[in-house]
Amino acid sequence: MSSLSKKSAYNSPGERERHRRELSSLLDIAGVEYRFVLFRGVPVCPFPGVKRRLQTYWDSFRPRQSDVWVCAFVKSGTHWVNEIAHMLLRGSTEAPKAKEEFMLERVDCEVLQNLPSPRLMNTHLHFSQLPEQILSARKGKIIFVTRDVRDVAVSLFHHQRTRAADNLTRYDTTWQAHLDTFCKGLSQNGSWFDYIKGWHEGCLKQQPDNVLHLTYEGMLADHRGAIDSLASFLLTPEQRCRLDEAFMKRVQQLTEFEHMRQAHSGKTAIEIYRNGKTGSWRGQFSELDLFDLRARLFDPLSFEDQSLFLRYSSMTSWA
């Protein structure tokens, strides 16, 4: 088990008690209690007040044509892409605010509603959980980020164990128990496979011109290429011309993984920027784990073909 953090996750005892009332729970195969929040039948990031907050978005959020969304399953590179997109849209290399300050699950509706355009927002919600007015309006642009599901599982395992000691959603269990919960689609953010399929069927196939698909592995392999792709997707030719080569190189430098880790020093950096590598699953998964993951998750997926699955997972094979 991991060491406990002494920092409190709550501003008051009352906030902790309110959080407790909105949580569901189960005992995993190791006998450890796992607490989670359901919204429209699917687990969501379990921030205090998230169910009330998301319902408010369903009731009153108004999308704009200039909106930009960064959408990804948890632990897939949302913070990284958000920092790059922020610098490009603002034309400034000033460090952006934390992405949680513009996150659907974390921030009250009126805060995002009153942001100046273009609004750069982010979410880990499944496509089916998005407010209907966002889906029907088809406004704005979507940056869709994916990562090898095996690395996602490992990163989430470590992430949930490093939460504050008094956080009701801290999940400090064994690797096998975490993988079992992950395979059942009960981990934070629900089923990775359902998430990917939902976004593919509901968004990427329906409005491909409004979506840029980036992979975590692709960004590691060609960081500058990913920045250029984002600039071309987000900016008009006139806006793009105003960003000279010195600016683009500075964006690249400031969004190198190690620089971001140092800039966000302390516990937050440990939770969010753990190692910035691909293939870390090799040190965690046994051959039996890999067989279990594939047997329990791939077959029910029913993608059009296996190559489509490999595209979204950045995998060439299961080996």
Residue 299 CB: number of other CB atoms within 10 A? 9
Domain that holds residue 171: 13-313
In this structure, is residue 8 part of a structural domain? Answer: no
Specify if 304 maps to a domain.
Answer: yes
Residue 271 identity (one-letter amino acid): E
**For residue 3, what pLDDT is reported?**
42
Strand partners for 146: 215
> Tell me, what's the pLDDT at 275?
60
Is residue 228 in a domain?
yes
Map tokens 């600039």 to a residue.
231
User: Does 294 reside within a domain?
Assistant: yes
Which pLDDT value is given to residue 296?
A: 65
With respect to residue 3, please indicate whether it lies within any of the assigned structural domains. Answer: no
152 domain residue, yes or no: yes
**CB-based burial label for 161 (10 Å; 0-12, 13-18, 19+):** middle
* Dihedral of the alpha carbons of 197, 142, 79, 303, in degrees to the nearest 10: 10
pLDDT at 199: 92
* pLDDT given for residue 4 in this prediction: 39
> What per-residue confidence (pLDDT) applies to 101?
92
Q: What is the C-alpha separation between 223 and 269, in angstroms, rounded? A: 20
Residue 103: which of 57, 134, 64, 137 has the closest Cα?
57
Quick one: pLDDT at residue 220? 92
pTM: 0.88
At 132 the pLDDT is 87
Classify residue 1: in a domain, yes or no. Answer: no
Residue 184 lies inside a defined structural domain of this protein: yes
Q: Count of domains in the chain?
A: 1
Cα–Cα distance, 182 to 251 (Å, whole number): 35
- Ramachandran class of 176: left when φ > 0, alpha when ψ lies in -120 to 50, beta otherwise: alpha
Most distant CA pair in the chain, distance: 58
DSSP secondary structure of 89-123? HHT--SPPPPGGGGBTTTS-HHHHHTSPSSPEEEE
What averages of pLDDT result for each successive group of 10 residues across the chain (319 residues)? Answer: 54 85 93 93 92 94 95 95 96 87 95 96 96 84 93 92 81 92 90 89 86 94 97 96 96 88 58 61 78 65 59 62
Structure tokens given for 32: 């450890």
Evaluated on CA atoms 200, 113, 79, 225, the torsion sign reads: positive
**Which alpha helices (H) appear in the chain, and where do they start and end?**
13-21, 50-60, 78-90, 109-113, 132-137, 149-161, 175-183, 192-199, 216-221, 223-234, 237-241, 245-254, 257-263, 267-272, 287-293, 306-313
In this structure, the number of other CB atoms found within 10 A of the CB of residue 185 comes to: 18
Q: What is the pLDDT at residue 75?
A: 94
The CATH number of residue 68's host domain is: 3.40.50.300
Read off the DSSP letter of residue 169: T
pLDDT at 267: 45
